[in-house]
Amino acid sequence: MYTQFVQTNMVFPVYMDTHKCEFKLPNEVIELSRLRLFNIGATVNVGNASYTTGGALNLIRNIQLYNDSQLISQVRYSDIWNYIQNLKNRNTTNISRNQLLYGDNMGWIYNQWPTEVNVFANIVAQHQNRLSPWGANAHQLTTDPKTTSLANVFLSHYFDFLNQAGTLDCTKLNLRLVIEWTTQPFAELLFNPAGGPASFTIIKPYLLCEVLSDPKEVKPEDVPLLWKEIVCTVVNVPVYPGYNPGAGSPVANLVQAQQVSVMLDSFRNQTIGKIYIVNTPSGTTVDGTPVANTLTGTNTCSYQMWGETLQLLVDGKKTFTGQNGLDLPARKTATLTDVLGTCNVFYGGNLPLSAGTWVTGGNVIGALDANAQNALYSGFAQNQTNYHSIGCFELNKFCERLQLDVSRGIGVYETDGAVPPMVNAWSSQLLPYSILLFAEVYKSCKILKSGVIV
Amino acid sequence: MTSYESVYPTSAKSSYVPGDLINIKFHVGIGKKLKKNSLRISGKVQASTAGVVLAAGTDIGLSIGAHGLIKNFIVKCSAVGELENILEYPRLVNMKYECTKVPNDLLSQSDCITELLAPDRYLYNGMLRIGSVPSTSFGSVLTAGLCWNSFSIKPVISLNTSAVDIPSNRLGYVEIQLCLSQPIDAFCGANVDGTTTFIITDLRIDYITVEDTEKDDKSPIILTGYNMDEMQLSSTNTTLVPIQPCLAQGLSITFGNIPALIQNNCLSVPLNDLQQVIWNINTVINPIEFVLDNVEDVMINYIKSMGGNLQHNNVSDTNYGIGLHFGSALDMAQNTISIQINLQNAPANPLRALVFYNKVLAI
């Protein structure tokens, strides 16, 4: 590609702050569509931290490609999207020097076992070396922009439109790239759970464009482009928690699963390829703590999702056999494996551990299932308090109507085993659990002088 | 459209125990195809010792995982007949995994995790038992007790080996018969005893179908499967003569008593003082003698016979079998094969030799 006819241009942002960054692509030229974003990274206020799966690209929360003010394509929650994509990489790939220098992503599957004392902790500590022999050194965020880890990415990672286009005729187009940064102090997917920094500062990125010096050499064809857009939607599946009076008691008898049906209007009348579903139990212990402390004094509690099942109805037809559809954690991991190929899922991803998870033991029906349901779709990124879990399946169909049925129970655990007043307080609190869905939606467009018709 | 199907056993029970015979029958559906490599068996397993939590130091074979719960596998379809009959299925799985994976794979790969495989006994033991963990952390109290592990295994059977999606008319009704293992065959560890057992619930077969929109071109669909024969190795100079009439592309042989092999998590009893393995392939046109007189050559050919990767496997000089990949399919009904194994010393006791025929099927 690097011939005399191609000039490589560095394009710096026309606007940059802690929330947003905007690029304008060169006008009146024809350029290759393999745009590449460099210097994605951040410095932290103190000490060192390391990225979780997805690496520095998790700093990008939303990314949009415009033609003037017309939105051509966007990926919302692109940090989570990127995380899913990076699951496909082996740890050995993610931590390799080549990947660090030239790869699209950084970050690796950090062994997610919690640090609290448990039977696995010491054992897993030995295995961490196997997982990331020098990962922590290679992928660290530091206080110095010169030493902190940086990533780069081809924009086609987000925009399949660019993959299909080959060249971009910017005599017709006025392209703008807008990035919205992750702004939370503790970015959900950003840092490994051991000692996340209090704040971070994003480094100014730049864009690499390859402009054709002799546009006559390659004249873009005016043919319709077909591409897959990543469409994201967030659905709320709130639940009233049930109550569990303490370790050793049957959960299933006390907490009934509650079903929520959601029509996915974003995907109406679309041809859909793969669907990725991400569980975001954003309530967990953060929300639970004040209530628990208020009501139980010195006692502690937590709550946990269990028994979640999922069914997807396409034009009224069930995608999964049976009323409950996708249920066991291993089956959920299996769908992920079958669609994406073998993914990086840390050992024990199907086990109940970590703060916020109760394990009651005894003859609890489906104890592991019931208690490990943050293994919902498996494949995790653990942050300070939460798990994200992922499932994937493919439809490859034109869908007029898409409906998601989710059934799940939320149980409350209290250390002293007392029934009231916890049960009353919790059972009246509707917990705002949500699910993110990403779908590959097939689109076509034509680039005209007057704009882009999608 | 892609559909995710599940089928329960024809004689459904709430739970299954060691030794149960299970029959599962399904039809992919008119106008549909069975998606290639999509067939799975899933369920939940609970292991116990004397009715309580599994004794410490007890686990399922590490590189067998939930596959070890199934002793025998028979696969039939009404359009073709019997596709394969795999006896000692866990042995086959162990051989397959040891030739294609390394322990680190079992630590972080989603396919291994759904099959309850593990890189070492410590981790695995924890998975089956959970364990008693009084924690000072907020809300995290782990209590010893019986636990359930869900699993979803992709069985090493012919239906999962097609390179293309299989139209329903090529299969007709598919029937899969399973025989569950006895605990002594499924578990290993010092504390496996007569009270060690397991139960399985929610057992089912999962598979994926896609719409069949293409005209069937009638060209054969090639599958590969396994049959098993049992022979014996008892002297310094033994000749094995596999005689199953099938179209085989390779043979793989493992030696030893199955519980002992699982107990030691090994592929085969080490053939002490192995001197020579001579393969005689007596084809009608061109008889071939293939002499392997060092362990490295034996190992390399064994790995190749299992479709393994020479750069990525867990085979060692104390953990290997014997095998040969023929390069192309050989009609065992027309040609004979003999394998001469020369040892420095005779085994103390006769060894079982399990011969797995890697056969080619066209449907």
Q: Is residue A258 part of a domain?
A: yes
- What pLDDT shows up at residue A195? 53
Rg over alpha carbons for chain B, rounded to the nearest Å, is 21
pLDDT tens, A108-139? 444 333 333 333 333 344 334 333 434 444 55
> Measured between CB atoms, which of A117, A331, A348 is closest to B42?
A331
pLDDT tens, A27-74? 888 888 889 998 888 888 876 666 666 677 878 889 999 988 889 899
- What pLDDT shows up at residue A257? 63
Q: Give the closest residue to B290 by CA, choosing from B347, B251, B248.
A: B251
Q: CA-CA distance, B271 to B294, in Å (whole number)?
A: 12
Side-chain half-sphere CA neighbours of B290 within 13 A: 18
Cβ proximity of B188 and B61 under 8 Å: yes
Q: Pick from A205, A221, A237: which residue ends a domain?
A: A221
Q: CA-CA distance, A315 to A317, in Å (whole number)?
A: 6
Do A405 and A377 sit in the same domain of this protein? Answer: yes
Side-chain half-sphere CA neighbours of A8 within 13 A: 10
Instruction: Check if A113 contacts B (Cβ < 8 Å).
Output: no
**Cβ–Cβ pairs < 8 A, chains A and B:** 208
Q: Is residue A448 part of a domain?
A: no
Side-chain half-sphere CA neighbours of A148 within 13 A: 24
Pick from A211-225, A411-425, B31-45, B166-180: least confident: A411-425
- What pLDDT shows up at residue A241? 60
Contact B150 A328 (CB under 8 A): yes
DSSP string, A328-381: SHHHHHHHHHHHH-S-B--TTTTS--STT--B--TT-TTHHHHH-GGGSS--EE
Place of tokens 């495989």: B117
- Strand A60-67, strand B336-343: pairing: unpaired
| Residue A313, SS3 per DSSP | strand
User: Which structural domain, as residue segments, surrounds residue A231?
Assistant: 227-442
Residues 6+ apart with CB under 8 A from A186: A196, A383, A384
Q: What is the dihedral of CA B54, B55, B60, B61, to 10 degrees?
A: 170
- What pLDDT shows up at residue A431? 61
Instruction: Check if A306 contacts B (Cβ < 8 Å).
Output: no
Average pLDDT over residues B278-293: 83
Q: In this model, does residue B49 exceed pLDDT 60? A: yes
CA distance A203 to chain B (A): 32
Q: Is residue A132 part of a domain?
A: yes
| Residue B111, SS3 per DSSP | helix
Cβ proximity of A135 and A55 under 8 Å: no
Instruction: Check if B151 contacts A (Cβ < 8 Å).
Output: yes
Q: Is residue A452 part of a domain?
A: no
Contact A338 B122 (CB under 8 A): no
Q: In this model, does residue A22 exceed pLDDT 90? A: yes
Pick from A250-254, A272-276, A300-304, B173-177: least confident: A250-254
Do A217 and A231 sit in the same domain of this protein? Answer: no
Contact B136 A117 (CB under 8 A): yes
Do A356 and A408 sit in the same domain of this protein? Answer: yes
Cβ proximity of A444 and A324 under 8 Å: no
pLDDT tens, A244-275? 444 433 333 344 567 788 898 888 999 999 99
Q: In this model, does residue B108 exceed pLDDT 80? A: no
Average pLDDT over residues A394-400: 90
pLDDT tens, B213-229? 877 778 889 999 898 88
Per the DSSP assignment, residues forming a β-bridge with A405 are A261, A311
- What pLDDT shows up at residue A372? 31
For chain B, give every domain's residue range.
3-211, 222-362
Q: CA-CA distance, A108 to A149, in Å (whole number)?
A: 13
For residues A138 and A239, the model is more confident at: A239
- Surface of B (20-39) touching A: CB under 8 A: 37-38
Helical segments of A58-110, H only: 78-86, 91-94, 97-102
Confidence at B33, pLDDT banded by 50, 70, 90:
very high
Q: Is residue A310 part of a domain?
A: yes
Q: Report CA B336 to chain centroid distance, whole Å.
A: 26
CA distance A337 to chain B (A): 6
Do A194 and A268 sit in the same domain of this protein? Answer: no
Do A132 and A241 sit in the same domain of this protein? Answer: no
Do A27 and A166 sit in the same domain of this protein? Answer: yes
Q: Is residue A450 part of a domain?
A: no
Q: Give the closest residue to A87 by CA, choosing from A322, A345, A290.
A: A345
Question: What is the H or E stretch that residue B257 is in?
Answer: none
Pick from A100-109, A433-442, B72-81, B189-198: least confident: A100-109
Contact B4 A356 (CB under 8 A): no
Average pLDDT over residues B281-305: 86
Residues 6+ apart with CB under 8 A from A8: A2, A208, A209, A210, A211
Q: In this model, does residue B103 exceed pLDDT 90? A: no
For residues A432 and B176, the model is more confident at: B176
Contact A116 B113 (CB under 8 A): no
Side-chain half-sphere CA neighbours of A446 within 13 A: 6
CA angle A363, A365, A371 (to 5 degrees): 100
Q: Residue B171 burial (CB < 10 Å; 0-12/13-18/19+)?
A: buried
Q: Which two tokens stand for residue B227?
A: 């049959």
Do A209 and A251 sit in the same domain of this protein? Answer: no
Q: CA-CA distance, A82 to A55, in Å (whole number)?
A: 9
Q: Give the closest residue to A433 by CA, choosing from A412, A409, A402, A414.
A: A409
- Tell me the angle at which helices B121-129 and A121-131 cross, rounded to the nearest 10 degrees: 130
CA B177, B179, B185, B187 dihedral sign is positive
Q: CA-CA distance, A10 to A246, in Å (whole number)?
A: 60
Do A194 and A248 sit in the same domain of this protein? Answer: no
pLDDT, chain B, mean: 83
Place of tokens 């867990």: B314
> Measured between CB atoms, which of B2, B40, B113 is closest to A350?
B113
Do A206 and A352 sit in the same domain of this protein? Answer: no
Q: CA-CA distance, B355 to B323, in Å (whole number)?
A: 9
| Residue A225, SS3 per DSSP | strand
Cβ proximity of A378 and A389 under 8 Å: yes
Q: Is residue A453 part of a domain?
A: no
Q: Is residue A295 part of a domain?
A: yes
Rg over alpha carbons for chain A, rounded to the nearest Å, is 24
Question: What percentage of residues in chain A have a pLDDT greater than 90?
Answer: 15
How many residues are listed for chain B in this entry? Answer: 363
Q: Report CA A36 to chain centroid distance, whole Å.
A: 21
Average pLDDT over residues B51-79: 84
CA distance B15 to chain A (A): 13
Chain B contact probe: residue of A94, A115, A119 with most B CBs at under 10 A: A119
Q: Which two tokens stand for residue A356?
A: 């916020």
Q: Give the closest residue to B267 by CA, choosing from B250, B253, B281, B251.
A: B253
CATH 3.90.249.10 fits B3-211, yes or no: yes
Q: In this model, does residue A371 exceed pLDDT 60? A: no
Q: CA-CA distance, B80 to B85, in Å (whole number)?
A: 14
pLDDT, chain A, mean: 67
Q: Which fold has domain B222-362?
A: Jelly Rolls (2.60.120)
Q: In this model, does residue A295 exceed pLDDT 90? A: no
Pick from A210-214, A272-276, B233-237, B305-309: least confident: A210-214
For residues B231 and A367, the model is more confident at: B231
**Amino acid present at A275:** I
Determine if the peptide bond prior to A421 is cis (ω within 30°).
yes
Instruction: Check if B9 contacts A (Cβ < 8 Å).
Output: no
Question: What is the H or E stretch that residue B203 is in?
Answer: strand B196-211
For residues A196 and B18, the model is more confident at: B18
> Measured between CB atoms, which of A131, A334, A394 is closest to B2?
A394
Do A268 and A203 sit in the same domain of this protein? Answer: no
Can you tell me the ipTM of this complex? 0.84
Do A233 and A217 sit in the same domain of this protein? Answer: no
Q: In this model, does residue A299 exceed pLDDT 50? A: no
Residues of B with CB below 8 A from A345's CB? Answer: 108-110, 113
- What pLDDT shows up at residue A282? 38
- Surface of B (154-183) touching A: CB under 8 A: 154
Number of domains in chain A: 2
Range among A374-383, B59-68, B112-121, B306-315 with highest mean pLDDT value: B306-315
Do A188 and A248 sit in the same domain of this protein? Answer: no
Among chain A residues, CA nearest to B45:
A366
- What pLDDT shows up at residue B305? 92
Any idea what the CATH number is for the domain that residue A191 is in?
2.70.9
Average pLDDT over residues A202-212: 91
Instruction: Check if B102 contacts A (Cβ < 8 Å).
Output: no
Instruction: Check if A379 contacts B (Cβ < 8 Å).
Output: yes
Pick from A182-186, A224-228, A322-326, B325-329: least confident: A182-186
Q: CA-CA distance, A155 to A162, in Å (whole number)?
A: 7
pLDDT tens, A52-65? 666 778 788 899 99
